[in-house]
Structure 1
Amino acid sequence: MGRFWGEKYVSLESPIRCGDCFGGIPLYRLPATRDDEYGDIITWESDYKACDTLQMNCSTGERFGLSQLSKHDSSLAIRGREICNRITVTTGIPTYYYLLKSSGKGLKAEQARKCPSCKGEWLLQEPLHGLFNFQCDGCRLLSNIAWSVRSIG
């Protein structure tokens, strides 16, 4: 299935998850991504959490944090996607990067969204792990229906 890349707000788990069971994969179980260590992953994760905190606190830097988490071409996403690519190359297992989608204009508009990178179709028939509504295998991106328009229940 592959691996997923992303992080939840306030978590001590690895940012890398198994594509089959969605459990965290400890970094020591992966080949080192740079200089025989995991410094690039650890610093990326720290930056991701900082951006997530900014957007969750909804005050200072909210737009910046949200932009970094939700845009495929933000500096945070570019670094994360490069790490995903290195993991894919060293393990042979496709590794996907998660893009947050917090607000949208309605469910139909959300379902019509295209992959932000290649503009291709990426809506899944069924949400993956109950979280991801979008998956682009070519760009190795995942996303969700905007939290603001999701139906509850």
Structure 2
Amino acid sequence: MYLAELTYKVIADTDFSRAEKAIRQFHEALIFNGNVIGREFPTAWQQDSFCCRLVIPTTDALQRANISPRARQAEQQLVAAGLAYPQLKVLGMDIMSQHNSNSMADALVLFTTFSDMCSPLRNLADLAPLPLYQLQPAAGQDHETLIRWQIQFQALDEIQQQEQRVLRKAAENSLQQLNSSLNQQGRKLAKNLARQNKLPVYYALYSGSSKNCTTEADKPCPGCGENWRLTTPLLEIFDFKCDRCSLLSNIAWECQPP
């Protein structure tokens, strides 16, 4: 990931409200296409321009060839609001972010956690994220549905990770149960992404707690009921893999040795 700066020069009469709305809509379009990472971008007024700092997955992520039709439409709203097209300056590699995979992807996994600031689509070879703008969306002209799923997943994951947990079981059930609304949506996205990109896309099913740690390691695939235990954990995280159901999972964290 890279830290970048976008500068919006004022070229006609405007006001803070119009400028803020146009800049926000443009940023949202970039978020939902995977051109930028995160959801909060500090923006400063600098006499004759607005300056914003953000994180991008690659140095060429904001080239016009890589942005969506929705982002191009939002660019026109910038002009209507009295702003020039943004000028990009890449400041350097962001040392606080996860970095993209450098390996060829033969298969992907839909995997995220509450602390991630990256694409939820990972290369199954190394679990490193892949820039969404380089991939075909599950549906529509961008990845908005996928990003909104990630936001919900991360919110529930953060709730059930807290020491003083509120609604812990409700959050954990949404993450763990194969047929929860959250996981049904995620599995559908993975299936559509596989079809659109002509690559296998596995869904990472979270497992935090278990009713019986004695039998946890031998639990069958929740999709087809078959044996899916791996001899060696995949990527040192996933103990289970079902090619039929395109599922990955782990032995419940509370059942693993300290």
**Structure 1 position 48, deviation (Å):** 0.3
Q: How many residues align?
A: 151
**Structure 1 position 9, deviation (Å):** 2.4
SS in 1 for 2:236: coil
Whole-Å separation in 2 of the counterparts to 1:54 and 1:102: 13
Residues 34-113 of structure 1: pairs in structure 2 closer than 5 A: 34-57=139-162, 58-104=164-210, 105-106=212-213, 108-113=214-219
SS in 2 for 1:133: strand
Percent identity of the aligned residues? Answer: 28
Note the alpha carbon deviations across 1:102-146, whole angstroms, 9 max, x for none: 12322x411210011111110001000000000111111111011
Residues 8-27 of structure 1: pairs in structure 2 closer than 5 A: 8-27=113-132
**Structure 1 position 53, deviation (Å):** 1.4
Q: Which runs of 4+ in 1 moved over 4 A?
A: none
The equivalent residue for 1:126 is 232
The equivalent residue for 2:242 is 136
SS in 2 for 1:148: helix
Larger RCO: 1 or 2 (CA < 8 Å, sep 6+) = 1
Whole-Å separation in 2 of the counterparts to 1:151 and 1:36: 45
Which residue identity is paired with 1:62?
Answer: R
- Give the TM-score taking structure 2 as reference length: 0.56
Greater alpha carbon shift after TM alignment, 57-66 vs 83-92: 57-66
Whole-Å separation in 1 of the counterparts to 2:129 and 2:187: 18
- Give the TM-score taking structure 1 as reference length: 0.93
The equivalent residue for 1:32 is 137
Whole-Å separation in 2 of the counterparts to 1:59 and 1:137: 34
Structure 1 unaligned regions, length at least 5 = none
CA RMSD of aligned residues (A): 1.2
Whole-Å separation in 2 of the counterparts to 1:59 and 1:129: 29
Note the alpha carbon deviations across 1:4-63, whole angstroms, 9 max, x for none: 112122110111110112210111111122221111101100110111112112522211
Which residue identity is paired with 1:30?
Answer: L
Which residue identity is paired with 2:158?
Answer: T
Whole-Å separation in 2 of the counterparts to 1:22 and 1:11: 12
